[in-house]
Amino acid sequence: MTTVPEPPTTVGAALPANTPHAVSVMFPTWQDNVYYEEGNPIVTSKMECGYPRFFVHPFIQKLCDRLTSKYGKASESGMLFPSRKIAERCREFLKRYFSETEAVRIVELKLGPVEKYPAIPIFLVLFPKDAFKVAKQFWQHSGDILSSRMAEQCLQILDDQEKQEQEQEQKRPAAGGGSKGRYANKRKPSTTPPLSSDVAGAASSSSTSSTEDKNIEAATYVEERYGRNLPIEFADHAKVALRRRIAGILATESANIQDYEKATETELENQRALQGDRGIKGLSENDVYLYPCGMSAIFHAHRCAMTALDASLKSVCFGFPYTDTLKILQKFGAGCYFYGLGEDNDIDDIEAKLKSGERILSLFCEVPSNPLLKTPDLKRLRKLADEYNFMIVVDETLGNFSNVNVLQHADMVVSSLTKVFSGDSNVMGGSMVLNPNRKHYQAIKAHQEADFEDLVWCEDALFLERNSRNFKSRSKLINENAEALCDYLASHPKVNKVFYPKFVCNKHYEAVKNPAGGYGGLFSLMLKSEKAAQVFYDNLHCAKGPSLGTNFTLVSPYTILAHYTELDWAEKFGVSRYLVRVSVGLEQRDRLLKTFQNALDAVVDEV
């Protein structure tokens, strides 16, 4: 039986605890979530981390502050990106949504090289301070974010560079060379200057404190000693293994790099002949693209559609989606038609529009949707797409390909690898898979060849590869735990409704469910009132915070976190302000059921 450690109980603690690159954060009470949304320092000042697209990781914040203090003006803020293309897209976004566009500029630097790491390109977008919220929207919506591990490495390079310069300055009158800087036993200090750019100069800042040094070294020891990661030079091989695993060609791997290399074209061809887990003839790892996070994959799927077809056409967002998917379709390109309920009669309306001569670019949906767990009639949508020449993009994050086969109906399938595929909640990643048998496949491939950038940081690839080796077995156990818990809750007198594919749009979900698949690990529930929901949440003794698909059960008052400024709008589509979303983990089943029973016992029925 898998052992799941006890979560921390203090507000702002990293989830998992003591994990420097954790992607969730503990909000023990309902009110903590409200304080977070309101920016109240009661919570925000205590946060060790947060979900990286919403809460910029402390390493990235620190690196950005150092570079902005060097290159920026007192009136400017900055934001870091891993490529010039992304920095320029951010500048274009600011031009569209912020007035003082002439003040936006880009600083291009290269840090390093150091031992085992080539020179690291990094791009700083500088803009007036009052434009920060707009730049942050681009960061959040596009998902083309900087890796916190990359930022950590850049900080170490700057520290070593500055320490070496200080030592050289102190010893200049004396004969002999300077001493080695911190981390010199692992990485050579660098004095490489910034690359020529919109702004030029040299970056410097004070080094980290000795306490931070110890924390970094301790974290590095734990990850390298016990993490089972491959050496950094095998990052490219890990990416190949990931792409094969996501294509369904290679289900599991051992830690031996030889297995990646020998997997032998004959074995791979045999797997392809069987069509792997995806069930798609001709699918290979070359149809899989890796991105810094799931939202980045969605963003680039939208860009693919606009290039392959007609960018002047609107898209369709079908069903109530994860919040930033809708924002991407609304803010980038020609806009979208939003069918927030995602019911069969909405397909009737789409079909009527198409028959009347309306054209659409693409249709985005989730299988199942977040947080209402609805599944659309993909077979019918596919028929319309073929007849009226639009693309279908399916986000399979919640279903995941061990449970569902949605690629058969899609042009592109996107997913957040941060979630159950990784499970450990310590790395971000995303993927896009193309269906090689669809009409627009060649046009999408041509766009990808011209536009795709491999921006998955090397260490992140190693963590994703390591974490996902047992993806299928974890997914199976999570399915079983979630179904047992949902069966219990659905019959409980204090629970008003459970949203789960077993109970919601079941016919459409079963149509794409794999024979050995389950219903996934995510569900939502509603109690009788907002007060009951708050009491229930506050008395749940488990991890509570943003994200999902973690190896530990993770709960959130989803609508409060995702739609705090638009609660009335969300309720129009059935997403109640007191909805509680549950991501089920690998805990022992009886213990898990008891945890929820105890929380429900704390709810007093209102007279």
pLDDT score recorded for residue 76? 96
Residue 321 has pLDDT above 70, yes or no: yes
How many Å separate Cα 310 from the centre of its chain?
Answer: 28
pLDDT digits (tens, 9 = 90+) for 207-266: 334 444 444 444 444 444 334 566 788 999 999 999 999 998 765 434 344 455 555 555
Q: Which residues of 280-294 are buried (b: 16+ CB within 10 A; e: fewer)?
A: beebbbebbbbbbbb
- All domains of the chain in start order, with CATH: 14-50+472-601 (3.90.1150.10), 52-226 (no CATH), 232-469 (3.40.640.10)
For residue 442, is pLDDT > 70? yes
Alpha helices in 319-417 (DSSP H): 323-331, 344-355, 378-388
Question: By the 8 A CB rule, do 559 and 577 touch?
Answer: yes
Q: Which pTM was predicted?
A: 0.89
Query: What average pLDDT does the chain have?
Result: 88
Q: In this structure, are strands 543-544 and 412-416 parallel, antiparallel, or unpaired?
A: unpaired
Structure letter (DSSP) for residue 316 = E
> Residue 157: its pLDDT value, please?
94
pLDDT digits (tens, 9 = 90+) for 381-397: 999 999 999 999 999 99
**Which residues contact residue 196 at a Cβ distance below 8 angstroms, ignoring those fewer than 6 apart?**
108
User: DSSP letter at 48?
Assistant: S
Check if the beta carbon of residue 123 is closer than 8 Å to that of residue 83. Answer: yes
Per-residue pLDDT of 12-66, as tens digits, reads: 999 999 999 999 999 999 999 999 999 999 999 999 999 999 999 999 999 999 9
Cα dist. 203→107, 270, 394, 472 in Å? 11, 52, 43, 45
pLDDT above 50 (res 193): no
Count Cβ neighbours within 10 Å for each residue of 518-554 and write b for 16 or more, e otherwise: bbbbbbbbbbeeeebbbbbbebbebbbbbbbbbbbbb
**Is 94:104 a contact under the CB 8 Å cutoff?**
yes
More confident position, 511 or 182: 511
Please state, as a whole number, how many other Cβ atoms lie within 10 Å of the Cβ of residue 223: 20
Q: Which helix (H) or strand (E) holds 525?
A: strand 522-527
pLDDT at position 32, please? 98
Mean pLDDT of 75-93: 97
Reduced to 3 states (helix: H, G, I; strand: E, B; else coil), residue 588 is: coil
Least confident of 139-153, 174-188, 477-491: 174-188
Render pLDDT for 424-433 as a digit per residue (tens, 0 to 9): 999 999 999 9
How far apart, in whole angstroms, are the C-alpha atoms of residue 111 and residue 195? 9
pLDDT at 155: 96
Residue 308 pLDDT grade (very low, low, confident, very high; cuts 50, 70, 90): very high
The pLDDT of residue 208:
35
Rounded Cα distance between 157 and 204, Å, is 10
Q: What is the pLDDT of residue 607?
A: 30
Tell me the C-alpha distance between 331 and 537, whole Å. Answer: 34
28: preceding bond cis by omega (within 30 degrees): no
Each residue's pLDDT tens digit, 544-589: 999 999 999 999 999 999 999 999 999 999 999 999 999 999 999 9
pLDDT of residue 181: 34
* Predicted confidence (pLDDT) at residue 371 exceeds the cutoff of 80: yes
Q: pLDDT at residue 180 above 80? A: no
Q: What pLDDT does 269 receive?
A: 61
3-state helix, strand, coil in the chain (%, to 5): 45, 15, 40
What is the tens place of the pLDDT at every residue in 116-150? 778 999 999 999 999 999 999 999 999 999 999 99
What pLDDT score was predicted for residue 142?
98
d(CA 79, CA 319): 32
- Residue 81 pLDDT > 50, yes or no? yes
Task: Give residues with Cβ within 8 angstroms of 72, minimum separation 6.
Answer: 78, 124, 126
pLDDT: is 445 or 101 the higher one? 445
- Integer angstrom CA distances of residue 516 from 272, 366, 519: 19, 21, 10
pLDDT at 188 over 60: no
Tokens representing 425 are: 């909640």
For 86-164, strand residue ranges (E) read 105-111, 120-128
**CA dihedral (538, 540, 542, 544) positive or negative:** negative
